[in-house]
Amino acid sequence: MKTFWTKKGIAQCEVHPIFGSLTFLQKINPGLWMADIYNKYRCPYVGIWVFWRPGLVVNCPSIARNILLKDSDNFRNRLLGTGTADKLGTLNLFTCNDPLWTIVRKKLTSVFTASKLRGWEDLYKSKSADLVQRIKSDNENGITNSLKPLFADYATDIIGESAFGIKCEATKHSTGPLRAMTKEFEKYDTFRGIQWSSIFFFPELADFLRFTFWPKHTMTYFRKVFSMIVKERGGYEKETDGRRDLMDALLKMKQDAMKENQNLDEVVVISNAMIFLQGGYDTTATTLTYIIYELAHHPQYQQKVYEELIEAKSNNDDKELKESDLGQLPYFNAVIKETLRKYPVMGWLDRIALKEYQVDQHLTIPAGTVVYININGMQQDPVLFPDPTVFKPERFLPENVKNIKPYTYMPFGEGPRSCIGKRFGMISLSFALAALISNFILKPLPNAPAPNDAAIDNKGMFYSPGEALSVQFISRN
């Protein structure tokens, strides 16, 4: 282990005889560790050990492009997983590998077409209005909300109604059948941390110890909710064209398999419904939290966003802005993109080399090597993004985007395995942000930490606040 990478002439992290290079787990957020590796070695790639498996951290955008796009057929699979004991946690788009991944991705792509997303605009507007009213009501009652749980209420409602057709009211009351589930997702203790560390970096151990991607009682609860929805829609026997929402697409996937005499376990259907709920609500809630927190601490940027929204609405005869209108606002979107640069929810991308692979003229890696694309490292590089710890939306204005080197900014991943729900997430963010800035002036609370001083969750796998973040919402009217 100690000489595997050095014999190949490349830098290697310090190695522990059991944990390999992963002694940081449960002490440092993996995204922060990736940035540390990037800054410590300042080279195209660094050799690591993922327990007893060789791994390569890629810090070079051109190599990242080759792995994620040009040579993606050799890197279609990921490391993380829980094994045969946890089908619900293993058989979804986030965790499954080929050939199942290709089948599921193709079937679910229809859920995220532009026309489908536009069809949910009334929902985005309604829930954004509920969010504004909730904050106003809480202000009147002297309640200061923690941002992430507040935005988790909103995001859960959006997913519940758009994906599953369930009437949800969590934005108003922070309760409901799906919000009860997403609150369970948020519970994270030491044992859960050990489980997830194993699932992401040592799936064989997760399989041996029968760890599960989700808590068992949560899976049981979701099965009941899912069965109720299927029954309300007439079961798997009732024909559907798969065009309405995620549930329809999942039902059609099962129906098509039955017609073709393929054995598609219902667990695959339930697993993908569950991962969409978790992935969709959490990323939206986290990113909205950081956007609002940064804008509260940067009133000059907040004012620019507000003025841009007011001007756009004025140019639209004071009508409510549509998704297409919000998508045309340069500063508004620059704020979102800069937040995703500074706080990428997933700080790295993992892939496994299916065959021996020549990385460049200096290095060839054996089949089975885990490759980590260092997203956070590149997005925090002062050469690629000057003053990377400073919140600068101007980086992403149309006249400056040309300065951003391809494959140095990848908050949603790139290539065939990029995030399927990217546009859905961006639209959910946009409507909430527009409603909040239009109705409130954001100010920091007294003695609140500056954005760069706010704690990061070091126990989890994703980039998320490690403490409750709140701001003052002051009504504009």
- To the nearest 5 percent, what fractions of the chain are helix, strand and coil? 55, 10, 40
User: Which ranges of 265-345 would DSSP assign to H, the alpha helix?
Assistant: 266-297, 299-315, 323-326, 330-342
**Structure-token pair, residue 53:** 């498996």
43 labelled as ligand-binding?
no
Q: Provide the β-strand partners of residue 357.
A: 365
C-alpha closest to that of 290 among 137, 402, 432, 138: 432
Radius of gyration of the chain (CA): 22
User: Which ranges of 76-189 would DSSP assign to H, the alpha helix?
Assistant: 87-90, 100-108, 114-118, 121-140, 147-164, 170-173, 177-186
Residue 456's contacts (CB-CB under 8 Å, 6 or more residues apart) are 29, 32, 463, 464, 465, 466
C-alpha closest to that of 210 among 96, 88, 50: 88
Query: How many residues make up the chain in this entry?
Result: 477
> Which region holds residue 415: left if phi is over 0, alpha if psi is between -120 and 50, else beta?
left
For residue 401, the one-letter residue type is V
**Structure-token pair, residue 245:** 């929402």
C-alpha closest to that of 54 among 84, 77, 100, 21: 21
Annotated binding site for heme: 419
Residue stretches of the annotated binding site: 419
